[in-house]
Amino acid sequence: MMKPEMPNCNTCGEKVGFGSDGSGVFVGCHECNFPICKACLDYEIKEGHTACLQCGTPYDGSLTNLDVAEKEHVTHTTMAGHLNSSQDAGLHARNISTVSTVDSEMIDEGGNPIWKNRVESWKDKKSKKKKAVSKAAKEVQIPIEQQMDVKQESAREMQPLSQIVPVPKSQITPYRVVIIIRLIILGLFFNYRITNPVESSYGLWLTSVICEIWFAISWVLDQFPKWYPINRVTFTDELSARFEREGQPSELAAVDFFVSTVDPLKEPPLITANTVLSILAVDYPVDKVSCYVSDDGAAMLSFESLVETAEFARKWVPFCKRFSIEPRAPEFYFSQKIDYLKDKVQPSFVKERRAMKRDYEEYKVRVNALVAKAQKTPDEGWTMQDGTPWPGNNTRDHPGMIQVFLGHSGAHDIEGNELPRLVYVSREKRPGYQHHKKAGAENALVRVSAILTNAPYILNLDCDHYVNNSKAVREAMCFLMDPQVGRDVCYIQFPQRFDGIDRSDRYANRNTVFFDVNMKGLDGIQGPVYVGTGCVFYRQALYGYGPQSLPRLPKPSSSSSCCCCGPKKPKKDLEEFQRDSRRDDLNAAIFNLKEIESYDEYERSLLISQMSFEKTFGMSSVFIESTLMEHGGLAESANPATMINEAIHVISCGYEEKTAWGKEIGWIYGSVTEDILTGFKMHCRGWRSIYCMPVRPAFKGSAPINLSDRLHQVLRWALGSVEIFLSRHCPLWYGWGGGRLKLLQRLAYINTIVYPFTSLPLVAYCTLPAICLLTGKFIIPTLSNLAAVWFLGLFLSIITTSVLEIRWSGVSIEELWRNEQFWVIGGVSAHLFAVFQGFLKMLAGVDTNFTVTTKAADDLEFGELYMIKWTTVLIPPTTLLVLNLVGVVAGFSDALNKGYEAWGPLFGKVFFAFWVILHLYPFLKGLMGRQNRTPTIVILWSVLLASVFSLVWVKIDPFVSKGDSSATQGCIAIDC
């Protein structure tokens, strides 16, 4: 008779094993045959648990064995019972092996905290596993042929799933050489500038030198983190061959998707629905995918649109998987201007595509009807279909809401197959509580997902970023599940790509230089920064744990003993012990289980008492237990009947009070750019991140394409950087003690928080050309031959650096130039306002907002591009444009009046003025509105004002000395 598979122990996960006589499987309880091994049973009895963990029957002490037939019966009946119980509870139980309610309370029968018991038993279980493995290896004799197969299989499992492709030396070596040469030329250039002041215009000269020094520092901060750019390739076929063997359940890791939205009137439900549909149809095992939608506005419109989306997904998901549709967001798939018949050999494809398009149009009509209905809120508030009031009628005061759609216990698709789970979440809101906007919503999703599914990995997306590559999750798993790479990786960041942007991309919305140049450079150091969306997190890293390769904490040597007095108590008090063990403020908020091995019982109890789980994670025993599960899966104490209640509990307003949420774990609070802070904290703990750039973009989103919206987006990012600069997490001083953050990585983070301050010298430097043209003075003295060499060398090194950067990165010259232009446009507008707003907010507590008012729009393909939205942020760049244009007119008028000897000095002044005007040209086009249609009134007024000002300037020079009578004698009329 073939021996069936031996059941796993419910406590430690190992095989139950045989009894003392070796004749059958060990059984702890004869009533329910609860699977538990002898070692774990002895431990439970030792701790005072004398009854069965499942049925509560007291142990009779006569623990016997089962024969083979009984063992097979026990295995099947027990698993069937668990599955039935989970189905009756109405929850998706694909990750539930058994259910235990013994640990549903925080305190056990003996009055000890349960998490402490689990930690104390952790070391015993580890040693027990090692002994069991070694004993099994001795007892079982494997034939030599099978041993060879096992060795080959083990060798294959250690093969990498990804590979680093360094930039060719022929491209990177000249690039580095030019950077060093440019650095040397900068030193010689500043030596000349500082030692040769312009006495006639000392103030202008000093201002220009200070600005140039700041620009040089900014260049160093931006340039040197790009010293080690790399590319990566993934082997998704090898991933499938290793973890998806035919005839066996998939061993790929589970992933929880997070989608966050706030206001459905500003973030259209149809866009959010497309993101959700693309997630549900992703090319990944359905039992490994769960999608959580956070509605932070508690809008009934969002809930009802999600109901419609769940119903439409039953048709859309099987259609996508049957025909390998890309992308799997219906709105963007049906709007593609391509031959959809290409590579589709199924005869039924055309018919089914047309039917699916009709279904989608009907679905859009239903969703748009909901949007139209939601434009006016009823006086009595919204009511649900059953007549009960909608709990979120008051968006600032409502209970937490969770609704589970689809999944194992919900509706299947039209072909009868299981769909991924879809969960609607709206956290509790109450007056008087700080909810921390998006970061708080993401942390609520972390806790809810840990209760319901607890996937080891989390992928977060903005509501307007859909899955463009259905294999994107597999691309990320090639790194996270790689035996050599994945152990130290906290997240995989994908580049952001956008739809709906005009071909010229006049406002650099695509951000190509940042995503294709800077991020590749960071990937060669310690990893890219977290940009807020399109990122796959390792859940344990969000919980504050350190990486596996993290060096252990030095063992305190504060205890000693003598032969007569016995062991002495440590001389250090509790606070000193904590301070030493934390390595300044760099260590994780909770201890690393790996580090406890080096401590004795007394030292470990001190460490545990200082870093209490309840104080870190909050008062939820189910959630606390889930944090100890390195590879995910539901906690032992998770009861399907009470899971929703527990999930509601962890999204309550007061749950985060006096915990480490937002301080050390989860998304970090304290800035509107919580993404930078969150990634920075992980890198400070010793983690590294990876940049993944598939050939087909993984995710695509929408970007604001008109000038005002783009500037306000940049304003928000810059304000977040200023907030971080003024906080304790500033990279200038935070995290130096442990040495886990590499120097070049720190330079990159410093650059992300100081770049808004470049706006101050940039505004001053853009004003200098106009002042020089109006006053006749200049910031540079007469150039000598040697000085001319330094100036020429500096310009050539700048151009050569850009050319070589284009060569290894693959970005185009136009993209580099657009990025340079918008660096000036954003610097003299949004960044400038962010600096002042940040100081007012952080130091004076004054929160200022700059409103945007729409003035005009065109109903064209890029109609939004030509929208004119007047806002305060537009004032500084407009002023600089007018100043420099007037300065150029005045300079030429003055040169015409003085003669040919004035044209030489004019060249340098006009060159810098044109530099400013060329960089602000896209801004000028944005002010003009329609492309190539400058309003006539603007042209007339510009010509009139320029003519009048130039004539007046020629005859009335305010900079001429009053004592110089020869300059004004006889000049009374214009035609003198």
Q: Cβ contacts of residue 861 below 8 Å, gap of 6+? A: none
Which residues have C-beta within 8 Å of that of residue 488, sequence separation ≥ 6?
A: 547, 548, 549, 686, 687, 688
| CA–CA separation, 801 and 593 (whole Å) | 47
| Secondary structure element (H or E) that encloses residue 255, with its range | strand 255-261
Strand 489-493 relative to strand 466-467: parallel, antiparallel, unpaired? unpaired
H/E segment holding residue 817: helix 813-827
Is residue 489 within 8 A of residue 345, CB to CB? The reply is no
Are the CB atoms for 426 and 392 separated by under 8 Å? yes
Q: Where are the alpha helices (DSSP H) in 666-727?
A: 674-684, 707-725
Query: Token pair 């969960």 is at which residue?
Result: 423
- Which contacts (CB < 8 Å, 24+ apart) does range 836-844 have? 837/715, 837/719, 837/722, 838/719, 838/722, 838/723, 838/725, 838/726, 838/756, 839/722, 839/726, 841/719, 841/723, 842/722, 842/723, 842/726, 842/727, 843/726
Annotated catalytic, 847? no
Q: How far apart are CA 192 and CA 184, in angstroms?
A: 13
Distance CA 768, CA 203 (A): 11
546 residue type, one letter: G
Only one residue has tokens 């070796």, namely 22
Nearest to 761 by CA among 834, 838, 832, 840: 832
Of 126, 34, 73, nearest to 597 by C-alpha is: 126
Please identify which of the residues 287, 675, 894, 957 carries the catalytic annotation: 675
Query: Which residue type, as a one-letter code, is found at position 673?
Result: T
How far is residue 754's CA from residue 500's CA, in Å, rounded to a whole number?
31
Q: What is the DSSP string of 496-554?
A: PEEES--TT-TT-TT-HHIIIIIHHHHHTTT-PPP-SSSEEEEHHHHTTPPPTTPPPPP
The H or E element containing residue 165 is strand 162-166
* Residue indicated by tokens 């606070």: 575
Concatenated DSSP letters of 629-673 = -TT----TT--GGGHHHHHHHHTSGGGGTTSSBTTTBSSPPSSS-
CB of 419 closer than 8 Å to CB of 410: yes
**Would you list the DSSP string of 261-315?**
ES-TTTS-HHHHHHHHHHHHT-SS-GGGEEEEEEETT--HHHHHHHHHHHHHHHH
d(CA 142, CA 147) in angstroms, rounded, equals 6
Residue among 239, 326, 285, 237 at smallest CA distance from 696: 326
Supply 201's token pair: 């215009």
**Is residue 386 among the annotated active site residues?**
no
Q: Which of 256, 287, 295, 296 is catalytic?
A: 296
Distance CA 873, CA 712 (A): 8
> Three-class SS of residue 458?
strand
Contacts of 31 (CB under 8 A, 6+ apart): 52, 55, 57
Which is nearest to 823 in space by CA: 219, 242, 355, 309?
219
Q: Which one, of 403, 251, 407, lies nearest residue 317 by Cα?
A: 407
CA distances from residue 518 to 227, 521, 691, 747 in whole angstroms, order as listed: 10, 5, 11, 12
Two tokens at 862?
Answer: 């890029």
Residue 78 tokens read as 């027990």
Active-site annotation, residues:
296, 675
